[in-house]
Structure 1
Amino acid sequence: IRVYQVLDADNMQSAQSLYLLDKKLVTVHMHGWIVFRVTEAVKKWLNGTAENH
């Protein structure tokens, strides 16, 4: 699973419009929660320095 921050919603097919925040390898044998590091992206969104797409 990969989690991206969208930098340019109008051009999401471009690699430059996405920023990889975190990734995890998930198997069918795993149990429980999967935690992704998105704190910095959320902080930027909340303080207005990044857009919410």
Structure 2
Amino acid sequence: MQLEEQRRAIEYQKKKMETLSARQRLKLGKAAFLNIVKKGFHVDQSPGLCSRLQGR
């Protein structure tokens, strides 16, 4: 019975850490997106190419 309780506690901690990690990843992605939008960068059709909206 004690092993089952330990397993549940470990699974709960794992799920909690995954949730926190996902939330942090979402916040970082949102911050990065807003930072790019704020700076006025535009992503072209070609991967990896960025140009200023004013310079286009």
Question: TM-score, length-normalised on structure 1?
Answer: 0.23
- Greater share of strand residues, 1 or 2? 1
Question: TM-score, length-normalised on structure 2?
Answer: 0.23
Higher RCO, 1 vs 2 (CA within 8 Å, ≥6 residues apart): 1
- Greater share of helix residues, 1 or 2? 2
